[in-house]
Chain A
Amino acid sequence: MKKLIIALAASAALLGGLSTGAQAQEKKKVCFIYVGSRTDGGWTQAHDVGRQQLDKALGSKVETPFLENVPEGPDAERAIERMARSGCDLVFTTSFGFMDATVKVAQKFPNVKFEHATGFKAAPNLATYNSRFYEGRYIQGQIAAKMSKKGLAGYIASFPIPEVVMGINAFELGAKSINPDFKLKVVWANTWFDPGKEADAAKALIDQGVDILTQHTDTTAPMQVAAERGILAFGQASDMIAAGPKTQLTAIVDTWGAYYIKRAQALLDGTWKSEQIWDGLKDGILTMAPYTNMPDDVKAMAEETEAKIKSGELHPFTGPINKQDGSPWLKAGEKADDGTLLGMNFYVEGVDDKLPK
């Protein structure tokens, strides 16, 4: 009897093993870790739209499980490891704060491939991918300078990391290319996601006289406040036009779908390599929401700038540019290199804020 049971168990295990083996050959698992809710209306939603596009394009060959609301910090490592252990072939970790956790898990699972969004630490099985958000912010700055009556915009920032500082600088440079005296007020909310606090920051900036608002946080709350107070604003990460039909000028829309499909295809073809990708408007990883609530000439200017950035004719960080204290940074015609941009820890001239250290 005992032998029979063992034999049965063994054959069952064999069958089970065979069938999962066959399945694994059929379908690859491409997994996603989200920092927020996939319905946040901003950053995480943009990633989830990309995942759904991947599902649609390669659904017969890949599965796309995801984990949402994974906090940055010690818990992230556990969540990523859980994904790796569950048989994922490729894991996308979609927040800057997952960087060190992804590096650690990638070391433990050399056969699993990882891709970390917006980070700078890579390994043979860990690629990084990022979007040149600053290109969109430069265009926003130009629009702001045209549309602001006071020459003063407000910027709701999250954390003083290079990514955010770069965005603030690009916005100010765009604005200054139109109005050399343009000023920018910055408020640090010290959070990516807190509708209430983002709304409070928006109210504080408006009460201090800004008439254009832009944000580097994840919810539509600032857009709503701008709409209520009757000023104009820019959306972030997703098209936020629903929150402010008469308020949104444009939005930086993250369009990760094409990239996710490309990388999943590379995985299927066996050609996946660890790369450090930093794409922009021209690659379609970043698009501008329709230019709305502005006169035609401003719209034409924005479209022209967008075309120039796409063609490579215009680089937002082209000298002469001074640092905030007036000391020279880039000489006339000189372009900032990617390394400097990715480690940016200083403001350019015209930003009315003291950078937190």
Chain B
Amino acid sequence: MFEAILLTVITASTPLVIAALGELVTERAGVLNLGVEGMMIMGAVCAFAATQMTGSPYIGILAGILGGGAFSLLFGFLTLTLVANQVATGLALTILGLGLSGQLGEAFVGQPGIKLQPIVFPLLSDIPFFGRVLFRQDLTFYLSMALVIGINWFLFKSRAGLKMRAIGDNHASAHALGINVIRTRYLAVMFGGACAGLAGAQLSLVYTPQWVENMSAGRGWIALALVVFASWRPWRVLAGGYLFGAVTIGQLHAQAFGIGIPSQFLSALPYAATIVVLIIISHNRRTTLINTPASLGKPFVPDR
């Protein structure tokens, strides 16, 4: 029973973790992209369409990544090259993504999807409990874990990551030091878009292998909240994503089990839990400030 619940939690949490990790990198570079929902749904539609046309969900995954990444370029061009307001552009990107994906996906509505099958590690997958949970998952789960480790290493152990954090904290100083602010931010925005696209691909190929309009149903916004919740730390994104997923699935099981707690309360529980944790971690103002990229959301125009 516990294993079954955990497997459902993993499927529900993986897209949140992946999208939040991408946005974390974008924000660490000092760019606030509120268009996660739009990039995610674009990834979902591209992944589903490519899978239906080629019959291979792996090409679908690739299409999702490319779709999300390409869509984020629009945001990058508007906010980095044309220095448009990041908040407004991000919101516009979400609205555009939701509409455009509906248009693109119209031909694919109602088609039974092809599910991305798990990759089974021989021997390891035979370990009781852990084998089933950790070594019999689909590619997106392994990628999410690799992303946590990889991004953590990149941000805090690599030179390029240090430069990127410098840009996020003070783009004027970083520019003065000769770091190419705009180019790095473009890459960070595209990485965020690619991750959101991958998260979308997980939705339309793993979570619910089908395409319906608006199928992301607000998960992009939850991913955005997770980044703040995690105070821009990759491991905390993982913990936050799984906490949210666990409470969401747990409340459904509690209902099915017949625990007499009002379902509206249970439905609000994941959000309430997130707020409580946020209050606890924001209690220490200094650590919050240390982790927050100081240039977040501020426009940058190189003076020469």
Contact = CB atoms under 8 A, between A and B. Distances in A.
Interface of A: 36-37, 39-41, 69, 154, 160, 185-191, 193-201, 203-205, 207-208, 219-221, 224, 228, 242-243, 352-354, 356-357
Contacts of B213: 36-37, 39-40, 69
Contacts, number: 114
Given A37-B214, A39-B212, A356 B262 contact: yes
B214 A196 contact: no
A200 B249 contact: yes
B219 interface: yes
Contacts of A354: 258, 260, 262
B106 interface: yes
A194 B209 CA distance: 13
Contact of B106 (A39, A196, A197, A219): A39
B131 to A, nearest CB: 19
Contacts of A352: 258
B216 to A, nearest CB: 8
Nearest to A209: B256
Given A41-B110, A204-B256, A207-B4, A224 B263 contact: no
Interface of B: 1, 4-5, 8, 12, 102, 106, 109-112, 115, 203, 207-210, 212-215, 217-219, 248-249, 252-253, 255-258, 260, 262-264, 267
Contacts of A204: 5, 8, 249, 252-253, 255-256
Contacts of A160: 263
Contact of B217 (A39, A195, A207): A195
A188 B252 CA distance: 8
B214 A193 contact: yes
14 contacts: A37-B212, A39-B102, A185-B256, A185-B258, A187-B252, A195-B215, A196-B12, A196-B215, A205-B256, A219-B215, A220-B212, A224-B210, A352-B258, A354-B260
Nearest to B264: A356
A41 B212 contact: yes
B212 A40 contact: yes
Given A40-B212, A228-B115, A242-B111, 17 more contacts: A185-B256, A188-B263, A190-B263, A190-B267, A195-B217, A196-B219, A197-B217, A199-B207, A200-B248, A207-B5, A208-B253, A220-B110, A221-B208, A242-B110, A242-B112, A354-B260, A356-B263
A39 B110 contact: yes
Contacts of B8: 200, 203-204, 207
